[in-house]
Amino acid sequence: MGYGHERGPGPGSGVGARPPLRDIRGVTSADPRSVGAIALTGVIWHNSPMATCPFCAIPSERILLANDCALALLDGHPLSEGHTLVVPRAHLASVFELPPAGQQALWALVAQVRQRLLRAGADAINVGINDGVAAGQTVMHGHVHLVPRRQGDVPDPRGGIRWIFPDKAPYWEQA
């Protein structure tokens, strides 16, 4: 079973002969694949932001895992094979707008996806949130990115997220 996209790693990724990640599909609560699509917030009004939100009506075949608060699905523009999003069922601009129990359920699903990606062959995972326009958020429905990493996928992975500000990233080189 594949991930639903044909793109492999980009040029210079260093992945080479490594086998692809194994599928992580599974459902943690009532099987949402029994319906044609999951309406995350109930009725979607035609003139509301939810009417055009790509996360407010996700076809069931895209859902990898789910719980009562959130869904996991593959990113439509993956940075690496298996790049997964965990999306709250509620239409909120930020995952931090969820009540405490909702945040707990969302992070439990993030942890479950992380474990499955590691078991599927990832060497490590970058977990990130673009929270707000200035932070790079382009879909105003909060979500968490899990980006599987492989040894050698970039020449030097040190610094990770710090590379959003390249002049500050290599702190280990500064005196």
Q: For residue 157, what is the domain's CATH number?
A: 3.30.428.10
Domain count, the chain: 1
User: Catalytic site residues?
Assistant: 143
Q: What is the pLDDT of residue 74?
A: 96
Domain that includes residue 46, residue range:
32-170
The answer to the question of residue 15 being in a domain is no
- CA of 118: how far to CAs of 82, 92, 106, in Å? 10, 29, 19
The answer to the question of residue 17 being in a domain is no
The answer to the question of residue 80 being in a domain is yes
The answer to the question of residue 1 being in a domain is no
Helix (H, G, I), strand (E, B) or coil at 45: coil
Phi, psi for residue 88 in degrees, rounded to 5: -60, 145
The answer to the question of residue 27 being in a domain is no
Q: What is the pLDDT of residue 9?
A: 39
| Mean pLDDT, residues 142-162 | 93
pLDDT at 5 over 70: no
The answer to the question of residue 38 being in a domain is yes
Which pLDDT tens digit goes with each residue over 85-118? 999 999 999 999 999 999 999 999 999 999 999 9
Helix (H, G, I), strand (E, B) or coil at 158: coil
Query: pTM for this structure?
Result: 0.75
Which pLDDT tens digit goes with each residue over 26-80? 544 333 333 333 444 443 333 455 668 999 988 999 999 999 999 999 999 999 9
